[in-house]
Homo-oligomer: A and B are copies of this chain.
Amino acid sequence: MALAGIAKVERNEAGIETVVGILRQRYGERFQTGQAIRDQHGHTMTYIPGQAPDGVFFAEAAEEVQEVVRICADHRVPVIPFGTGSSLEGHVNAPGGGISVDLSKMNRVLAVHAEDLDCTVEPGVTRTQLNEYLRDTGLFFPIDPGADASLGGMASTRASGTNAVRYGTMRENVISLTAVMPDGRLVTTAKRARKSSAGYDLTRLLVGSEGTLGIITSLTLKLHGIPQAISGGVCPFPSMEAACNAVIGTIQMGVPVARIELINGLGMKSINAYAKLNYPEGPCLFVEFHGSDAGVAEQAEMFGEVAAEYGGGPFQWTTVAEERAKLWKARHDAYWAGMALRPGAKSLSTDVCVPISRLADCIVETEADIAESGLTAPIVGHAGDGNFHVLVLADMDDADELARMEAFVDRLNMRAIAMDGTCTGEHGIGQGKMQFLQHELGPAVDYMRAVKQALDPLNIMNPGKIFPLEG
Contacts and interface: CB of A to CB of B under 8 A. Distances in A.
A118 to B, nearest CB: 7
A187 to B, nearest CB: 4
Given A356-B194, A420-B193, A441-B198, A454 B448 contact: no
A201 interface: yes
Given A159-B197, A193-B355, A292-B298, 9 more contacts: A138-B252, A191-B421, A198-B433, A198-B437, A224-B254, A254-B291, A292-B302, A295-B295, A453-B454
A440 B253 CA distance: 42
A430 B251 CA distance: 38
The listed residue with most B CB atoms (<10 A of its CB), out of A169, A252, A427, A450, is A252
A157 interface: yes
Contacts of A113: 355, 357
A79 interface: no
A223 to B, nearest CB: 10
B444 A187 contact: yes
Interface residues of A, number: 96
Nearest to A430: B197
A386 B193 contact: yes
A102 interface: no
Interface string A126-143: 000000000000100000
A467 interface: yes
Say how many copies of this protein the assembly contains: 2
A205 interface: yes
Contacts of A201: 158, 171, 201, 204-205, 207-208
B194 A252 contact: no
A240 interface: no
Contact of A192 (B292, B351, B421, B425): B421
Interface string A424-442: 1111110001000100111
B441 A248 contact: no
5 contacts: A138-B252, A171-B201, A195-B425, A198-B423, A294-B298
A256 B256 contact: yes
A164 B172 CA distance: 13
B441 A190 contact: yes
A360 to B, nearest CB: 11
Contacts of A191: 417, 420-422, 440-441
Contacts of A208: 197, 199-201
Contact of A193 (B186, B194, B298, B353): B353
